[in-house]
Amino acid sequence: MDKVVALCKRRGFIYPSSEIYGGISGFWDYGPLGVELKKNIKNEWWKSMVQLRDDVVGIDASIIMNPEVWKVSGHIEAFTDPLVECKHCHKRFREDHLRDLRARVPSTGVGSVQSKKEFTDLVYCKDGRKHEWMKPRNFNLLMEVMLGTVDKNMAYLRGEITQGAFVNFQNVVDSTRVKIPFGIAQIGKAFRNEITPGNFTYRSREFEQMELEYFIQPNDKEGQKWFEYWKKQRMDWYVSLGMNKQKLRFRPHEQNEKAHYAKKAEDIEYQAPFGWAEFEGIHHRGDWDLSRHKLTYKDPDSGEEYTPWVIETSGGVDRSSLFFLLDSYSEQNGRTILRLHPKLAPYKVGVFPLVSNKAVLVDKAKKIYNDLRGSFTAAWDDRGNIGKRYASQDEIGTPFCITVDYETLEKDSVTIRERDSAKQERIPIEKIPQYLQKKLL
């Protein structure tokens, strides 16, 4: 984990937010490579969930909505976590996180450096006294925000992007030709007052979600069919983008941990360095949301009117990004390689002149670079020797590197090197776009 965190900072994937002022807990900034990785993940999700389907449409709802939305949806009442606090130093934990830490950290304090620190934090205040934990109390996760200039009114930053799909359900039905079963997809930011943010970007107070609300006929057979369908679709998507299937699993929610809206819920979890961790949920929400908002659907063919049920898939962009980075990180013969799927890699191709002090090679390489970057995200590098440039691109996951050498000037061909195998082949310059297109499909 530490190596990936260091790589993210060093190479421009992820930075601590407001770092020059000491940072702020639970918030992160994505650098030049991180923003490309996130964009690629979102693009692939949108392509599979909206672009290639006839039964799903997209929306982009606002981050701040009428506060009544959160009252009606049950979030003001039920969107809570149990908080425990030390009566001496006022250190706070989510009760379930404290329970998990106690189970994971040896009671003797013997173990890894991280375990020793966790053990100390669990037992002692900073002044050396032992923690005395008070009884748990519920803590609402919605972030409050004040609107207006003089007469200020309280609203909330959305704690999930889901409600934007529900409050626009009727608008979508009226303005499109969708018929049940159909889905509304959305990608966007959400905010939660997490009590104990941590594990790098895994638990943050500002994060991005990619969600589908899929509306179906209200009967158990349809509910079971679509719940299993979307479970398979979502698991297959992660595997198709290179995530190790052996590190993925489904975990059904216990009855006492289900969200207030869930008839049924399962998480896709990844085996992270800090344990099995959820990063996408498949939820059977029943008619909770539409009934609360008093919304119904009238079948245009039969005339039947009913409140649809909803099957939801809710994935975290930030958590997916983190797990794709963790899953792809490898070290081989002294090389650090991010074996990101080519579709997710921030740069698809690096272009180099063999040496940087020969203008004729630099000019030729620059022309190839400029011709390619209209179709592919491309990196230019003429620093140091060619071996160091390859290593630099391996470390950020670039799947292909093109080298312009003296043979290029004679035969109009280049060397293309593949990241994972380090194998090289010679191809004509005119065939580079077709070569990359085929490899990147």
326-335 per-position pLDDT tens digit = 999 999 888 8
Q: Torsion over CA of 386, 389, 395 and 399, rounded to 10 degrees?
A: -80
Residue 283: band (very low, low, confident or very high) from pLDDT cuts 50, 70, 90? very high
**Spatial separation of the C-alpha atoms in residues 385 and 367, rounded to whole Å:** 21
Output 81 or 168, whichever has higher pLDDT. 168
Residue with tokens 């009544």: 68
- Once rounded to an integer, what is the mean pLDDT over residues 140-155? 86
Q: Which pair of tokens denotes residue 234?
A: 């979502």
pLDDT in tens, 127-147: 778 887 777 766 678 888 999
Helices 2-11 + 317-328 axis angle, to 10: 110
Residue 14: band (very low, low, confident or very high) from pLDDT cuts 50, 70, 90? very high
**Spatial separation of the C-alpha atoms in residues 216 and 440, rounded to whole Å:** 35
Residue type for position 133: W
What domains are there in the chain, each with its CATH number? 2-67+142-329 (3.30.930.10), 83-139 (no CATH), 349-440 (3.40.50.800)
Handedness of CA 83, 87, 92, 96 (dihedral sign): negative
Which pLDDT score is estimated for 101?
Answer: 65
- Once rounded to an integer, what is the mean pLDDT over residues 47-56? 97
Of 18-22, 63-67, 130-134, 234-238, minimum mean pLDDT range: 130-134
Q: Torsion over CA of 273, 277, 279 and 282, rounded to 10 degrees?
A: 150
Helices 359-372 + 432-440 axis angle, to 10: 50
Contact residues for 183 (Cβ-Cβ < 8 A; gap 6+): 49, 53, 55, 56, 57, 212, 213, 214, 215
- Once rounded to an integer, what is the mean pLDDT over residues 172-192? 96
Is pLDDT of 80 > 90? no
Helix runs in 154-278, H state only? 162-167, 169-175, 220-240
Beta-carbon neighbour count of residue 238 at 10 Å? 22
Q: Mean pLDDT for the chain? A: 91
Of 149-153, 204-208, 419-423, minimum mean pLDDT range: 149-153
Task: Print burial letters for 403-417: b (CB count within 10 Å at least 16), e (below 16).
Answer: bbbeebeeeebbbbb
Which pLDDT score is estimated for 81?
Answer: 66
**Spatial separation of the C-alpha atoms in residues 185 and 49, rounded to whole Å:** 7
HSE-up (13 A, CA, CB side) for residue 131: 19
Contact residues for 263 (Cβ-Cβ < 8 A; gap 6+): 223, 284, 285, 286
